[in-house]
């Protein structure tokens, strides 16, 4: 009881209206989408919430959020609940926040069908490359200058993915899921480096090169 009261009346762990780093994972709500390739951004956020021992997920407007701190940095993890093509609406409250900068305080975690499974890219800016979630983010911000972690979901060479929409909304097989889960510690390390140093050093240290024969 005392712990509950202290939690209620004590300072908010997300820092209230102070500086906050926002990490948005793109995905679709609903149990039918939980294991799909399009929801890999949510998998990363769930892992971060566990590793960083953040507050429980709760509803906040068009999103589910988890708050806390990593070192001295206030953190908010955000899962849009609007479906992929309206994901950008969750950023409206932060854009009204004094001193909050998408270029420095926002990281979007997203699946990338143009990268092979097992590869990833931290990027400081760039186009949506046809991804509806990133199109919505870009529309909300009015520019492309925000950090993102693109996680490869493309099948290996020689394996047909079929229609792209059907492919990204299909479930990972066990072996493919294992590949993604084995990258989670690297994602945590890279994101923690982004919190401390910004996106440019992270790109230099963590991006893996895709061999030419694997490039889309």
Residues designated as active site: 38
Q: Which of 174, 118, 120, 190 is nearest to 150 (CA)?
A: 120
Start-to-end Cα distance in the chain: 56
Q: Read off the tokens for 91.
A: 């950023």
Q: Which of 56, 60, 73 is nearest to 15 (CA)?
A: 73
Beta partners for residue 110, in sequence order: 150
Q: How many CA atoms lie within 13 A of 158 on its CB side?
A: 1
Burial of 113 from C-beta contacts in 10 A (0-12 / 13-18 / 19+)? buried
């Amino acid at each position: 009881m005392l712990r509950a009261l202290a939690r209620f009346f004590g300072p908010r762990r997300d820092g209230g209206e102070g500086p906050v780093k926002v990490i948005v994972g793109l995905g679709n709500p609903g149990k039918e989408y939980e294991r799909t390739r399009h929801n890999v951004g949510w998998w990363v956020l769930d892992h971060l919430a566990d590793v960083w021992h953040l507050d429980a997920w709760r509803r906040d407007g068009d999103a589910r959020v988890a708050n806390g701190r990593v070192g001295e940095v206030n953190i908010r993890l955000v899962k849009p609940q609007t479906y992929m093509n309206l994901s950008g609406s969750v950023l409206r409250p932060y854009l009204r926040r004094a001193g909050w900068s998408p270029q420095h305080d926002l990281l979007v975690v997203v699946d990338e069908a143009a990268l092979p499974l097992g590869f990833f890219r931290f990027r400081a800016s760039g186009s949506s490359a046809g991804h509806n979630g990133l199109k919505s983010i870009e529309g909300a911000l009015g520019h492309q200058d925000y950090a993102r972690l693109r996680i490869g979901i493309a099948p290996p060479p020689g394996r047909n993915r079929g229609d792209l929409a059907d492919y990204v909304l299909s479930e990972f097989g066990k072996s493919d899921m294992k590949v993604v889960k084995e990258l989670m510690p690297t994602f945590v390390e890279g994101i923690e480096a982004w919190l401390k140093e910004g996106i440019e050093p992270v790109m230099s240290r963590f991006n893996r090169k895709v061999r030419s024969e694997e490039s889309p």
